[in-house]
């Protein structure tokens, strides 16, 4: 996952305050994490392509490495991370940014889907979570985890539980399982009580492991 400080111009989740109150009342673990997190909140940068592109860049590498690669992509693209600009850079320039050949393929396929109108982000706010995921996983390199990150960081859906996320599982292990990482089934069972605010619960568990707000 990539991280950066949240910018004031980002659009914050409108339900965040309600989620904070509910989780704080539900469990003292969340009450403590939320109290220590100050005013930081989940927010969306509003650009679907950039959110998805950053998710692809961040797959299976460390936070620090992902940020470094993304910074090089920004430099190569002159901060213009549009589908057309990414395609214009070409595979060699993207590989020079530190992307693997497979991630170059994934990023290019994403850009092609946007350029051809095969993805229509203007319709996604009207669709439920599973319908959005079904569309996104048609792109090479976008699996369920990446689609769930999009639901969280772009569409600001309140009840996403990304069970394939290592940080979520580690956070549950640290706070409720004596440091032992739970199975996906155990995590799902633990998180049932957090509905309908499982996005916020996940975000705060990430915060408990890393004080810098997670953002895509």
The catalytic residues are 165
What is the rounded CA–CA span in Å between residue 75 and residue 41?
A: 28
Backbone angles phi, psi at 165, to 5 degrees: -85, 125
In the numeric block, the tokens 């599973």 are attached to 130
Q: Is 200 helix (H, G, I), strand (E, B) or coil?
A: helix
> What are the residues whose beta carbons fall under 8 Å from the beta carbon of 178, sequence distance 6 or more?
none
What is the rounded CA–CA span in Å between residue 116 and residue 49?
A: 13
> What are the residues whose beta carbons fall under 8 Å from the beta carbon of 180, sequence distance 6 or more?
173
Q: What is the DSSP letter of 3?
A: B
What is the rounded CA–CA span in Å between residue 77 and residue 88?
A: 9
Count of positions (residues) in the chain: 216
Got the DSSP string for 102-115? HHHHHHHHHHHHHH
Q: Is 214 helix (H, G, I), strand (E, B) or coil?
A: strand
What is the rounded CA–CA span in Å between residue 161 and residue 130?
A: 12
């Amino acid at each position: 996952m990539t991280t950066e400080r949240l910018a004031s111009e980002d659009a914050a989740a409108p339900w965040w305050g309600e989620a904070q109150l509910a989780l704080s009342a539900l469990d003292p673990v969340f009450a403590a994490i939320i109290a220590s997190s100050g005013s930081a909140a989940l927010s969306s940068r509003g650009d679907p392509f950039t959110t998805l592109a950053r998710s692809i860049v961040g797959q299976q590498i460390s936070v620090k490495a992902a940020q470094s690669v993304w910074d090089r992509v920004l430099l190569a693209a002159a901060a213009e991370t549009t589908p057309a600009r990414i395609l214009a850079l070409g595979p060699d320039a993207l590989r020079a940014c530190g992307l693997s050949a497979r991630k170059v393929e994934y990023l290019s396929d994403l850009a092609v889907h946007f350029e051809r109108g095969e993805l229509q982000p203007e319709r996604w706010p009207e669709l439920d979570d599973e319908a959005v995921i079904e569309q996104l996983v048609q792109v090479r390199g976008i699996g369920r985890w990446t689609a769930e990150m999009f639901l969280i960081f772009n569409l600001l859906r309140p009840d996403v539980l990304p069970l394939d996320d290592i940080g979520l599982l580690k956070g549950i292990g640290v706070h409720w399982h004596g440091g032992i990482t739970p199975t996906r089934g155990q995590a799902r069972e633990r998180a049932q009580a957090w509905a309908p605010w499982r996005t916020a619960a996940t975000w705060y568990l990430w915060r408990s492991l890393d004080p810098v707000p997670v953002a895509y």
